[in-house]
Amino acid sequence: MTQSILTLLAVVLAIGYIVKSTILPLFKKNKSCNSGACGCVDLKKKQ
Amino acid sequence: MNRKIKNIALLGNPNSGKSSIFNQLTGLNQTIGNYPGVTVDKKSGTFLVDNNQKITVVDLPGTYSIYARSADEKVVSDFLSTPTQKDFPDVLIFTADANNLSRSLLLFTQAAEFKIPMVLLLNMMDVSDKTGRSINIAALSKALGNIKIIKTNARKGTGLPELKNYLAALEVIEQSETSKVQTLDDQQQIQDTQTRYQKISDIIATCVTESNTGKTSKNTTQILDKIFVHKFLGYPIFIGILFLLFQTIYSFAELPMEVMDSLFAVLQSKAIAFFPPGTFTDLIVEGVIPGLGGVFIFIPQITILFLFVAILEETGYMARVVFLMDKIMRPFGLNGKSIVPLVSSMACAIPGIMATRTIDNWKDRIITILVTPLMSCSARLPVYAILIAIVIPDEYIFGIFNLKGIVLFALYLLGIFFALGMAWVFKIFLKTKERSFLILELPLYKAPRWKNIALILIEKIKVFIWSAGRIILAISIVLWFLASYGPGERIENAVQKVELPSNSKTQQEYDIEVGKVKIENSYIGILGKQIEPVIKPLGYDWKIGIALLTSFVAREVFVGTLATIYNVQIEDDEDTSALQEKMKSDINTNTGLPLFNLPTGLSLMVFYALAMQCMSTLAIVKRETKSWKWVFVQLGYMTTLAYVFSFITFQLFS
């Protein structure tokens, strides 16, 4: 029983970590980009 | 009102030692390279001076001019002309390379117009002294408006206590505005630069004396450069160094890899003995340990790769590589400034893509971002290494050159070849006409400092273990679960249909068949069978298909995935044999031939050389381009290239 709970917990944590580290960064906004001072200039504007 | 200083900023030309000073002051480990363009973003840290006064230091990207053309130069001018922003410096610490004083002073005189108090650090004084150059500090200070000058050696930290003491004693007046950068057109900029250089020449003439006696490192550098950047000799030497690197990887990594492999086998046996039987123990023994072990046994090879790169950077040869590559890449339409991102991508594409900020032309920047992940990064090494070990025979060409090392070398060249070819193709579609040139300073050759190399190696290996380890651990857990369970009673029903051991069937044959039936009816098996038709033309079966899917997260996950799948399938707790042996003995049920034969192995290597299998890189591309369009263009063209060329490879060698 304990082993089953531990296994389930490990699987849930692992799925959470995969989503957090691989999918979420794609949607993350870089706040400092708003000023352009961080170097992330907007390429569209340059165009 | 006077107050103690809170913020300082480091400004200087590229490769003048700003990042080294930043690291020495803050104790942080920002990447330092003996070539320009390493810092493309401003970074900040803090340090304490004697009276427990906390000072924030911002490391600005290296620039030759205040007049912004590229993104990294814009960072500098925007930052220095906006006093309202956070971390605006009370004092500007200007780092000048004492060996290139006139060029440093050009930027210094421009920066002085911001009217921010400045301190001039004359860095690399050790090299300057060796070249017999003498700088009259008092005269130089007077000529520059009585500013504080401190002699430093950033690599050793010399002169920095004096800087800290000076900053601790300094008080500044609160200011709310600085001067703006003048807006000059190209012609005005040229005139402005000429006028400044005239004044600087007068200053240099009165403050600097050169001695021509003695063997100098400048002379040594000039002699070495006649060989290393020679228009004919330079290229074979570079190819030779790369060739040697890949030969070394195979010659020296074998023994430590075997040791690592044995360690994980022992760990697996100990875990079986230690934990009570149950699902969680199975998860550890069949999922986590093989998953991590499968990738970590390649640490010796990755260490050798990083060691070579660190030595090349430390000595100053990497800057020569950039110079040599510039000549090769220019005919393919690549921007001169694309070279640093492409070369640094041989370690990892992420810093490479960030380094494209030095490119001022947006189309050139986009092209460089699009082709950068084609350069073979260190995450591909475990994939190449295991496939080469399985399908390439252990033979020597001319009795000395290891065939496996040659194949690895060829895979790296393949990445360079496709990066150039695709840059040429994109150039046609994006129609860039603006020409831009690489301004590159070739640093003096320096003997590598082994302590520094050891620190770089430890840091990089730590990052590899930590970043790759976490994601492999998570994927191994999920994979083990999906490979051990199936919908409803499907696995049990399928096992019941397997013919029991008899006179014509041994218990071992029965166990193997049960293992296969179980995994084929698990969640992962069902998913794998669904995608198998798509990858069958490339010579892959469903297990490789699953590994391809999971390694979209990160390439090295390929090895961990196969390790987990094979461990669940074999399900023999006593069998802790190496992953390579399990892969070698696997049979493709579609063809009846070994699954990992030469055509499949080569096809897979080509696939991994060309495919965009890295979510972190895609996230950086999204961040840098602020557009999903380029993310999908990159993913789409690289996946198509990978599919088409691995199909061709499989058909050619079948």
- pLDDT tens digits for range B118-149: 999 998 877 666 666 788 889 999 988 889 99
pLDDT at B571: 59
pLDDT tens-digit series, residues B216-270? 566 788 888 899 988 889 999 988 988 888 888 877 887 888 888 888 889 988 9
Across residues B192-203, what is the average pLDDT? 85
> In terms of CA atoms, which chain B residue is nearest residue A14?
B474
3-state secondary structure of B151: strand
Q: Report whether B35 contacts B319 (CB < 8 A).
A: yes
- Residue B72: band (very low, low, confident or very high) from pLDDT cuts 50, 70, 90: low
Of the residues A4, A27, A31, A41, the best mutation for testing chain B's interface (the one with the most B CB atoms within 10 Å of its CB) is: A41
Burial tier of B197 (Cβ tally within 10 Å: 0-12, 13-18, 19+): middle
Across residues B279-303, what is the average pLDDT? 85
Tell me what ipTM this predicted complex has: 0.75
Most confident of B410-414, B434-438, B506-510: B410-414
Inspect the interface and report whether the beta carbons of B74 and A36 lie closer than 8 Å: yes
| C-alpha B601 chain-centroid distance | 26
Cα-Cα end-to-end distance for chain A: 61
Q: Give B484 to chain A, closest Cα distance, Å.
A: 12
pLDDT at B31 over 60: no
Residue B237 φ then ψ, to 5°: -65, -45
Beta bridge partners of B7: B56
Chain B residues whose CB is inside 8 A of the A22 CB are: 471, 553, 615-616
The alpha carbon torsion through B269, B275, B277, B281 (nearest 10 deg) reads -80
Across residues B519-539, what is the average pLDDT? 90
pLDDT at B651: 94
Looking only at Cα atoms, what is the longest distance across chain A? 61
3-state secondary structure of B123: strand
| C-alpha B259 chain-centroid distance | 27
Q: What's the CA gap between B619 and B538, in Å, rounded?
A: 28
Q: What's the CA gap between A45 and B131, in Å, rounded?
A: 47
Size of interface A-B (CB pairs under 8 A): 102
Q: Nearest Cα to B469, choosing from B564, B378, B560?
A: B560
Across residues B324-334, what is the average pLDDT? 77
Beta bridge partners of B594: B587
Q: Nearest Cα to B551, choosing from B260, B540, B519?
A: B540
Q: What is the mean pLDDT of chain A?
A: 68
Out of A22, A33, A44, name the one closest to residue B553 (CB).
Answer: A22
Rg (Cα) of chain B, in Å, rounded? 29
Across residues B98-114, what is the average pLDDT? 85
Burial tier of B527 (Cβ tally within 10 Å: 0-12, 13-18, 19+): middle
Q: What's the CA gap between B58 and B44, in Å, rounded?
A: 4
Secondary structure element (H or E) that encloses residue B121, with its range: strand B118-123
Burial tier of A31 (Cβ tally within 10 Å: 0-12, 13-18, 19+): exposed
Q: What's the CA gap between B156 and B420, in Å, rounded?
A: 39
pLDDT at B176 over 60: no
pLDDT at A9: 92
Q: Report whether B256 contacts B345 (CB < 8 A).
A: no
Chain B residues whose CB is inside 8 A of the A19 CB are: none
Q: What's the CA gap between B572 and B577, in Å, rounded?
A: 10
| B405 vs B32, higher pLDDT | B405
pLDDT at B68: 65
Query: What is the DSSP annotation of B294-332?
Result: HHHTTHHHHHHHHHHHHHHHHHTHHHHHHHHHHHHHGGG
pLDDT at B415: 94
- Residue B435: band (very low, low, confident or very high) from pLDDT cuts 50, 70, 90: low
- Residue A34: band (very low, low, confident or very high) from pLDDT cuts 50, 70, 90: very low
pLDDT at A31: 46
Pairing of strands B118-123, B133-135: unpaired
Q: What's the CA gap between B18 and B228, in Å, rounded?
A: 27
Cα-Cα end-to-end distance for chain B: 81
Pairing of strands B91-97, B118-123: parallel
Across residues A36-41, what is the average pLDDT? 39
Q: Supply B187's token pair.
A: 């012609």
- Residue A29: band (very low, low, confident or very high) from pLDDT cuts 50, 70, 90: low
Across residues B38-60, what is the average pLDDT? 75
Sheet strands (E) in B185-325: 208-210
- Please state which of the ranges A17-26, B27-36, B61-70, B486-495 shows the lowest mean pLDDT: B27-36
- Residue B374: band (very low, low, confident or very high) from pLDDT cuts 50, 70, 90: very high
Residue B212 φ then ψ, to 5°: -100, 5
Q: What's the CA gap between B166 and B148, in Å, rounded?
A: 9
Q: Give B552 to chain A, closest Cα distance, Å.
A: 10
Inspect the interface and report whether the beta carbons of A18 and B553 lie closer than 8 Å: yes
- Residue B639: band (very low, low, confident or very high) from pLDDT cuts 50, 70, 90: very high
pLDDT at B534: 93
B256 to B251, B289, B404, B462: CA distances (angstroms) = 11, 18, 17, 17
Q: Amino acid identity of B439?
A: I
Inspect the interface and report whether the beta carbons of A39 and B72 lie closer than 8 Å: yes
B86 to B11, B44, B91, B94, B500: CA distances (angstroms) = 17, 11, 14, 20, 74
Q: What is the mean pLDDT of chain B?
A: 82
Burial tier of B563 (Cβ tally within 10 Å: 0-12, 13-18, 19+): buried
Q: Nearest Cα to B19, choosing from B387, B386, B313?
A: B313
pLDDT at A40 over 50: no
Interface of B with A (CB under 8 A): 40-42, 61, 71-72, 74-75, 78-79, 82, 85, 276, 278-281, 283, 357, 362-363, 365-366, 470-471, 473-475, 477-478, 481, 553, 615-616, 618-619, 622-627, 631
Q: How many CB atoms lie within 10 A of CB B470?
A: 14
Across residues B504-512, what is the average pLDDT? 78
Q: Report whether B147 contacts B119 (CB < 8 A).
A: yes
Q: What's the CA gap between B513 and B519, in Å, rounded?
A: 10
Secondary structure element (H or E) that encloses residue B120, with its range: strand B118-123
Q: What's the CA gap between B650 and B654, in Å, rounded?
A: 6
pLDDT at B175: 61
pLDDT at B293 over 70: yes
Percent pLDDT > 70 in chain B is 89
Q: Report whether B173 contacts B1 (CB < 8 A).
A: yes
Q: Amino acid identity of B91?
A: V
Chain A residues whose CB is inside 8 A of the B482 CB are: none
Across residues B450-470, what is the average pLDDT? 82
Inspect the interface and report whether the beta carbons of B474 and A14 lie closer than 8 Å: yes
Across residues B587-607, what is the average pLDDT? 88
Q: What's the CA gap between B104 and B603, in Å, rounded?
A: 51
Q: What's the CA gap between B95 and B8, in Å, rounded?
A: 12
pLDDT at A38: 39
Q: Nearest Cα to B441, choosing from B313, B312, B323, B309?
A: B323
- Residue B572: band (very low, low, confident or very high) from pLDDT cuts 50, 70, 90: low
Q: What's the CA gap between B569 and B582, in Å, rounded?
A: 10
pLDDT at B28: 63
Cβ contacts of residue B238 below 8 Å, gap of 6+? B321, B324
Q: What's the CA gap between B441 and B20, in Å, rounded?
A: 17
- Residue B436: band (very low, low, confident or very high) from pLDDT cuts 50, 70, 90: low
pLDDT at A43: 38
Q: What's the CA gap between B637 and B654, in Å, rounded?
A: 26
